[in-house]
Chain A
Amino acid sequence: MIENMAAIRTFGLSGVAGFPVQVEVFSTGGLPGLEVIGLPDASVRESRERVNAAILNSGRKMPPRRMTINLAPADTRKEGPSFDLPIAIGILAANGELLPRTGLNIDRIVFFGELGLDGRLQPVNGALSIVISASEQGLTEVILPADNAREVSCIQGMKIYPARSLTEVIDHLEGKAMISPQEQQDYADLQLQTPVLMDLSQVRGQQGARRALEVAAAGGHNMLMIGAPGSGKTMMARCLPGILPPLSFAESLETTRIHSIAGQLAPGSGLMIQRPFRAPHHSASVASLIGGGTNARPGEVSLAHNGVLFLDELPEFSRSALESLRQPLEDGVVTVSRIRNQARYQSSFMLIAGMNPCPCGYFGSRQRDCRCSPTEIRRYLDQVSGPLLDRIDLQIEVDSVPVTEISEAPAAESSASVAKRVRAARKIQQERYRGTSIHCNARLDNASIDEFCPMSTETKAILHMAVDKMHLSMRAYHRIIKVARTIADMSGNRNIGPADIAEAVQYRELDQKYWRK
């Protein structure tokens, strides 16, 4: 290495991916000062002041020299405070203020972390992505903020050194006090602690809705619930993560990365073991749903990746927000384009929507009379467009359960036992779709429906009769077959029978009742 020079490895973030960055520090005579170049954004440029204070408060000297800090590659924008630690280490190394212990190759270590003025190391967003990228580059040693350590502790083959302060990092590098590496965790062990937040045993009555929820979970289908206020739509939706199969390791990595980038992980938390349940308010903008902002941050559809996106009061969402859901619903990915950044985020989620049947909420209710005029109802329902409705496989009515029925009803089946059946149905699907990119019935493409959904002529006849009578679109036709496939899987049948079709058709009847009057 050239004297007065140091190069430290770190990573920047672009969307969900990390890219390698070299922090080069060049120290010369002249008026003391620090200049950061290489397309830093404001938060990176501010790191000058944090690094300065942190070095002084760690009992080291800020060398009275002119220092140029280059973040290479110089043509990619760098953002965020995670460059603080590599810059501080680079400054100390370039000026001979840091003497790495013999045998230590500082070039092979990845550094990242935000520095407090007192020299403490603060957690940063996107730690998981950085460590995954480092591992892909063949780097195995990482020094990071202690609060980020659990998040990355499941990555195989990495030596993770969690540090609480700049002093700890310096002492570690100089060999004065070694940091003990983070113990590697097995994802399977993590999963043992899965807490189920809302349990189906708390849902009394609602046999029809419970069945539909189970079908939705078993096949990964989207679902719409229409019902009066207080009929339990939200409660039902919240039960869904508890009956879905547990996140696989790969799925957990995907989802945790997105949450990590978005800064949605609590400091010190590990990989996500629970499927995400996102319930944005109906005032949500297109950018907050799809992703956006100057840096193309992930939106709700991506935060719900591998989990559930629950939209309550569906017609209250803005038309543009609802229409923007069509691409992610269809493709499972969104591309967020901004002036400075473009990012692709995965967004494969189950859409669960809830709505009232009319503005006052009591149209068709046994409890109360509806006060809305037909025009009002029509206008309300029309907020939900046909193409969006078409993409929802299951539509059900949820009726309020009378209080007397609730208090007298015996405890209902628990989430755990429903989850067992769901897992069995998913297993059948996994085996059937082995070797394809499909992972559940809802993701079947039209081309492979014939191959995977065999039906007898009698069954087909029933389906065709229903389609004819209900004037269903081609897309709806395919969706019925997919739902029927799931129902058949739930009872372990290889072929789809007439009963399966009949039940699937029944989940399609609502757009007749409400939207095609």
Chain B
Amino acid sequence: MKKATYETGVRGEEIAEQYLRELGMRTMERRHREKAGEIDLIMEDGKMIVFIEVKTRFSTNEAGEGLRAVTPAKQRRIAKSAMLFLQKHGWLNRAVRFDVIEINRDGITHIPDAFQPGGMMF
């Protein structure tokens, strides 16, 4: 990955974390790595564990550009990593949610409960 791209991502994630903290959520982990892939942010909203995918597009103010990048395949990858994370901590019966945050030149779009991985995963 190009260094600049990585830095853009990290900046976006910082903005997102700041934003969610203001909403009252607590940070559990940043850029959590699993074999299946990385989860940008893991936070707690009350008792609920929230896995957050952050999409940063400073190059545009076109809404939805970043959101559309969270394809079904990407969603499955995030869900798988989340599953491994929960297993590791023995939290398999806790309530969880998947959010997507888009950051572009116009600001922040937060989609709580953006997708629900179905089937065998949960």
A64:B68 contact, CB within 8 angstroms: yes
A64:B111 contact, CB within 8 angstroms: no
**Which has the most chain A C-beta neighbours within 10 Å: B64, B70, B114, B115?**
B64
B115:A31 contact, CB within 8 angstroms: yes
Q: What is the CB-to-nearest-CB distance from A313 to chain B, in angstroms, rounded to a whole number?
A: 55
Give the chain A neighbours of B100 by CB distance below 8 A.
31
Decide yes or no whether A32 CB sits under 8 A from chain B: yes
Q: How many angstroms from the CA of A63 to the CA of B100 in the assembled complex? A: 17
Give the chain B neighbours of A59 by CB distance below 8 A.
none
Give the chain A neighbours of B64 by CB distance below 8 A.
32, 62-65
Give the chain B neighbours of A374 by CB distance below 8 A.
none
Give the chain B neighbours of A30 by CB distance below 8 A.
111, 114
Q: Which A228-278 residues have C-beta < 8 A from chain B?
A: none
Decide yes or no whether A386 CB sits under 8 A from chain B: no
Interface string of B68-104 (1 = CB under 8 A from A): 1010000000000000000000000000000010000
Which residue of chain A has its CB nearest to the CB of B68?
A32
Decide yes or no whether B41 CB sits under 8 A from chain A: no
Q: How many angstroms from the CA of A32 to the CA of B114 in the assembled complex? A: 9
Interface string of B108-122 (1 = CB under 8 A from A): 000100110000000
Q: How many angstroms from the CA of A65 to the CA of B102 in the assembled complex? A: 13
Which residue of chain A has its CB nearest to the CB of B72?
A33
Decide yes or no whether A103 CB sits under 8 A from chain B: no
Count how many chain A residues have C-beta atoms less than 8 Å from C-beta atoms of the other chain.
Answer: 8
Interface string of A30-64 (1 = CB under 8 A from B): 11100000000000000000000000000000111
Q: How many angstroms from the CA of A30 to the CA of B68 in the assembled complex? A: 11
B114:A64 contact, CB within 8 angstroms: no
Q: How many angstroms from the CA of A166 to the CA of B60 in the assembled complex? A: 27
Decide yes or no whether A29 CB sits under 8 A from chain B: yes
Which residue of chain B has its CB nearest to the CB of A62?
B64
Which residue of chain A has its CB nearest to the CB of B67?
A32
A31:B111 contact, CB within 8 angstroms: yes
Q: How many angstroms from the CA of A152 to the CA of B33 in the assembled complex? A: 62
Count how many chain B residues have C-beta atoms less than 8 Å from C-beta atoms of the other chain.
Answer: 10
Q: What is the CB-to-nearest-CB distance from B74 to chain A, in angstroms, rounded to a whole number?
A: 10
B114:A31 contact, CB within 8 angstroms: yes
Q: What is the CB-to-nearest-CB distance from B16 to chain A, in angstroms, rounded to a whole number?
A: 16
Which residue of chain A has its CB nearest to the CB of B113?
A30
Q: How many angstroms from the CA of A67 to the CA of B67 in the assembled complex? A: 14
Which residue of chain A has its CB nearest to the CB of B98?
A31
B70:A64 contact, CB within 8 angstroms: no
Q: How many angstroms from the CA of A32 to the CA of B65 in the assembled complex? A: 9
Which residue of chain A has its CB nearest to the CB of B114?
A31
Decide yes or no whether B63 CB sits under 8 A from chain A: yes
Q: How many angstroms from the CA of A478 to the CA of B65 in the assembled complex? A: 77
Which residue of chain A has its CB nearest to the CB of B64?
A64
Q: How many angstroms from the CA of A29 to the CA of B110 in the assembled complex? A: 10
Which residue of chain B has its CB nearest to the CB of A65?
B64
Give the chain B neighbours of A64 by CB distance below 8 A.
63-65, 67-68
Q: What is the CB-to-nearest-CB distance from B76 to chain A, in angstroms, rounded to a whole number?
A: 13
Give the chain A neighbours of B68 by CB distance below 8 A.
32, 64
Which residue of chain A has its CB nearest to the CB of B53?
A31
Q: What is the CB-to-nearest-CB distance from A202 to chain B, in angstroms, rounded to a whole number?
A: 65
Q: Which A1-42 residues have C-beta < 8 A from chain B?
A: 29-32
Q: What is the CB-to-nearest-CB distance from B110 to chain A, in angstroms, rounded to a whole number?
A: 10
Give the chain B neighbours of A32 by CB distance below 8 A.
64, 67-68
Q: What is the CB-to-nearest-CB distance from B71 to chain A, in angstroms, rounded to a whole number?
A: 9
**Which has the most chain B C-beta neighbours within 10 Å: A31, A32, A64, A65?**
A31
Interface string of A59-82 (1 = CB under 8 A from B): 000111100000000000000000
A31:B63 contact, CB within 8 angstroms: no
Q: How many angstroms from the CA of A31 to the CA of B64 in the assembled complex? A: 8
Give the chain B neighbours of A63 by CB distance below 8 A.
64
Give the chain A neighbours of B114 by CB distance below 8 A.
30-31
Which residue of chain B has its CB nearest to the CB of A29?
B111
Q: What is the CB-to-nearest-CB distance from A119 to chain B, in angstroms, rounded to a whole number?
A: 19
Give the chain A neighbours of B65 by CB distance below 8 A.
64
Q: What is the CB-to-nearest-CB distance from A53 to chain B, in angstroms, rounded to a whole number?
A: 14
Interface string of A127-143 (1 = CB under 8 A from B): 00000000000000000
Q: How many angstroms from the CA of A29 to the CA of B114 in the assembled complex? A: 9
Q: What is the CB-to-nearest-CB distance from A55 to chain B, in angstroms, rounded to a whole number?
A: 13
Q: How many angstroms from the CA of A199 to the CA of B104 in the assembled complex? A: 74
Which residue of chain A has its CB nearest to the CB of B66?
A64
Q: What is the CB-to-nearest-CB distance from B62 to chain A, in angstroms, rounded to a whole number?
A: 8
Q: What is the CB-to-nearest-CB distance from A217 to chain B, in angstroms, rounded to a whole number?
A: 63
Q: What is the CB-to-nearest-CB distance from A61 to chain B, in angstroms, rounded to a whole number?
A: 8
Give the chain B neighbours of A31 by CB distance below 8 A.
67, 70, 100, 111, 114-115
Give the chain A neighbours of B115 by CB distance below 8 A.
31
Q: How many angstroms from the CA of A31 to the CA of B100 in the assembled complex? A: 8
Q: How many angstroms from the CA of A83 to the CA of B70 in the assembled complex? A: 28
Q: How many angstroms from the CA of A355 to the CA of B115 in the assembled complex? A: 68
Q: What is the CB-to-nearest-CB distance from B82 to chain A, in angstroms, rounded to a whole number?
A: 16
Give the chain A neighbours of B70 by CB distance below 8 A.
31
Q: What is the CB-to-nearest-CB distance from B109 to chain A, in angstroms, rounded to a whole number?
A: 8
Give the chain A neighbours of B63 by CB distance below 8 A.
64
What would 15 more interface pairs be, CB under 8 Å, given A29-B111, A32-B67, A62-B64? A30-B111, A31-B67, A31-B100, A31-B111, A31-B114, A31-B115, A32-B64, A32-B68, A63-B64, A64-B63, A64-B64, A64-B65, A64-B67, A64-B68, A65-B64
Q: Which residues of B contact A (CB under 8 A)?
A: 63-65, 67-68, 70, 100, 111, 114-115
CB<8 Å pairs between A and B, sample of 20 = A29-B111, A30-B111, A30-B114, A31-B67, A31-B70, A31-B100, A31-B111, A31-B114, A31-B115, A32-B64, A32-B67, A32-B68, A62-B64, A63-B64, A64-B63, A64-B64, A64-B65, A64-B67, A64-B68, A65-B64
The 7 closest A-B pairs by CB, nearest first: A64-B64, A31-B114, A64-B63, A32-B64, A32-B67, A32-B68, A64-B67
